[in-house]
Structure formats: structure tokens, C-alpha cells
Amino acid sequence: MVKLSSITRQLTCTRACVITTCVIAHLSGPHSALAQSTWDPAEAAPASVIVQDDDDAVRDPAEPDFVVVNLPSTLRLPRFKGNFRLTHRFAGNLRNGTFGQQAGNLFGIDQGAIIGFEYRIAFATHAQAAFYRSSFDKTIQLHGKYDAIRQRSMPVAISPVVSIEGTDNFQEKYAPAVGVAVSRHVGTRLAAYVTPMWVHNTAASLESIEHDHDGGVESHDETSHARRDTTYVGLGARVRFGGSAYVAGEVVLRTQGYAPDESAYGVSVEKRVGAHIFSLTFTNTFGTTFAQLARGGAANTLFLGFNLGRKFF
């Protein structure tokens, strides 16, 4: 009987230990799993920052478009993604006539427009190629940009640019160009640009366009189509207001070579909506290509226009 009682007590103790162990394991299980799944934020943060900093698809609030007004920006394009841009420069000179006359012509819209369209694609990482056609002398421009340095590793972003354009649907008056777009962002509100550019054959790159007495547009050849070069420096800036509204401006200063008329300039009021950006522009030139900008703008002129961009990423 003594042995049986002792065995019974041992079994009872063993059963109690097993039950206690199971209860403890059951209660401590979720906490252990939670402890194993918790990740130190200090270790995760650097990886997250690197992914966002290297991702060309991440929106840059200070630089929403691939141009300032006409000059190139340093905005990157993700590999194998594209962007479409439509340009209008209406032919009516806003400096002519009274306000009533301007309103009657819908501020130049009734007098026709110089229209252009562009599609660009990133065929490799940080490398873009673009096709642009303007109805101004049927000019086709083929240009490329390599976003070599971004502001993260340098105080500025640097993007070399090469281009060649030809009139009459790329059949004559070829004008190659080479330059570099340099930008400096100050926070997410301001971006400043310096764009030195050298363009060949600027005297023959296009025909001048003037207004006739009826307010229309007429085109005639330059008196001389000598091959000349122009070196210029484009200066520009963009300021963001609110969440997605901007004001941008630029001026093209010719420093050497062929430099007729006045320096080309432009300002724009912009609005970004998702992947779209709309810019209402005011310029003293119809020019939108590098060679056209090298020729400058006409005195006492101001033309209404717009840029419309659509990113496909």
C-alpha cells in the first residue's frame, strides 16, 4: 500500500508538471513569436532610404517636368519608361493693340499657333532619348540626356545633353548642339538651373517669322544662310507654391557667336495633377529647340502658350 501510494503521488506530480509546462508554453508562445517578428527600426531605416534615393520613379516635388520652360531640366526618367510633351506657342503678339482687341482675338489664340510634340524614353539607367517635332519650319529634333550626377553625392545635379535638329522634316539646315544642364535644389520648394550650350549652324537653322499687318504670320528666308555657331548660357528657376503649383522662368544669354534680336526668355505658371503637368507660358519667341532658342526672341513681343506633359510611370 505504501509503494502504491508513493507511485500515485509521483504520477500526480508528473501530471501537474506536464500541465503547468503546457500552460506556460501556451501563454508565452505568442509573445515569443512577436519578439521574433519585431524588426529594429534603426536597422530598417537605412535600407528604406537607399531604395527611395536610388529610385528614379520617386516624385521630386521641386522638379516636376523635364523642361523649365524650354530649356532642359535634370529630372530623371526610370529605365524603359516614357514621357509625352505637347507644346503650343500662339502667334498673337500680346504687346500689340488694346485689351479689347486682344480679348477679341482670344489673346492670340485665334491667330494660329506653333505646335510641337515630343516623346522621350529611358533606354538605359539614367539615359534618355527624345524625338521632338515642331511645326516651326517643320523642325525635327533628336536629342539625348545622360543624368550622370544627382545632388545626393554632389552639391548639384549634372546632366550632359546632345542634340541634332533639321528643318523640312530633318532634310536640311542641320544644327547639332552639345551642352549640360546643371541644377541645385533648395529643399522641396526651389530649383535653380544653369545650362551652357553650344549650337552649330544657328544662322541657317530656321526661317524668321514675323507678323503681317493683318495680325497673321508670314515666313521669309534670312538674307544670309551662312553657317555660324552660338554659345549661350541658359539661366532658370522654379518655385513651388502649396502642394503642386509652380512658377518657373528662364532666360537664354548668348555669350559668343551669332546672336540676332534679343535674348529669349519665358515664364510659366504650372500645375501638377498626378502624372500630368500643365504649364501656361509667356515667351518672346516661338522657339522651343536649342537652335531656335540660340536665335533669340523678337523685341516688343510676348506670346501666350502652354506645355502639357504626361509621365508614363
What does the pLDDT profile of the chain (313 residues) look like in tens digits? Answer: 444 444 444 444 444 444 444 434 443 444 333 333 333 333 333 333 333 456 888 889 999 999 999 999 999 999 999 999 999 999 999 999 999 989 998 999 999 999 999 999 999 999 999 999 999 999 999 999 999 999 987 899 999 999 999 999 999 999 999 999 999 999 999 999 999 999 999 987 555 445 443 444 554 444 455 779 999 999 999 999 989 999 999 999 999 999 999 999 999 999 999 999 999 999 999 999 999 999 999 999 999 999 999 999 9
Distances (CA, A) of 81 to 77, 129, 272, 312: 7, 11, 19, 6
SS3 75: coil
pLDDT recorded at residue 50: 33
pLDDT recorded at residue 227: 75
pLDDT recorded at residue 54: 63
Q: Establish if 6 belongs to a structural domain.
A: yes
Q: How would DSSP label each residue in 225-258?
A: ----EEEEEEEEEEEEETTTEEEEEEEEEEEEE-
Q: Establish if 77 belongs to a structural domain.
A: yes
Q: Establish if 43 belongs to a structural domain.
A: no
Do 100 and 216 have their domain in common? yes
Task: Tell me the three cell numbers of residue 277.
Answer: 503637368
Give how far the C-alpha of residue 57 lies from the chain's centroid of Cα atoms, to the nearest Å: 12
Do 34 and 69 have their domain in common? no
Q: How would DSSP label each residue in 275-288?
A: TEEEEEEEES----
Do 118 and 22 have their domain in common? no
Q: How many domains does the chain have?
A: 2
Taking every pair of C-alpha atoms in the chain, what is the biggest distance, in angstroms?
131
Do 118 and 162 have their domain in common? yes
Tens digit of each residue's pLDDT (9 = 90 or more) over 228-280: 999 999 999 999 998 999 999 999 999 999 999 999 999 999 999 999 999 99
Q: Establish if 137 belongs to a structural domain.
A: yes
Burial status of residue 226 (CB atoms within 10 A of its CB: 0-12, 13-18, 19 or more):
exposed
SS3 259: coil
Q: Establish if 254 belongs to a structural domain.
A: yes
Write down the pTM of the prediction.
0.78
Neighbours of 67 (CB within 10 A): 23
Distances (CA, A) of 154 to 38, 184, 244, 248, 288: 36, 10, 26, 24, 30
Do 293 and 186 have their domain in common? yes
Phi first, then psi: give them for residue 244, nearest 5 degrees.
-145, 25
Do 27 and 110 have their domain in common? no
Q: Establish if 152 belongs to a structural domain.
A: yes
Do 32 and 60 have their domain in common? no
Distance (Å, whole) CA 114 – CA 137: 9
Q: Establish if 236 belongs to a structural domain.
A: yes
Distance (Å, whole) CA 284 – CA 307: 15
Distances (CA, A) of 307 to 1, 85, 105: 103, 7, 21
Do 255 and 171 have their domain in common? yes
Sequence length of the chain is 313
Task: Tell me the three cell numbers of residue 249.
Answer: 522662368
Q: Establish if 22 belongs to a structural domain.
A: yes
pLDDT recorded at residue 152: 86
Do 32 and 65 have their domain in common? no
Do 21 and 160 have their domain in common? no
pLDDT recorded at residue 231: 98
Do 56 and 199 have their domain in common? yes
What CATH number is given to the structural domain containing 303? Answer: 2.40.160.40
Closest CA to 72 of 254, 221, 288: 288
Do 204 and 166 have their domain in common? yes
Q: Whole domain around residue 178: which residue ranges?
A: 48-312
User: With left for phi above 0 and alpha for psi between -120 and 50, is residue 301 left, alpha or beta?
Assistant: beta
Q: Which residue type is seen at 33?
A: A
pLDDT recorded at residue 207: 52
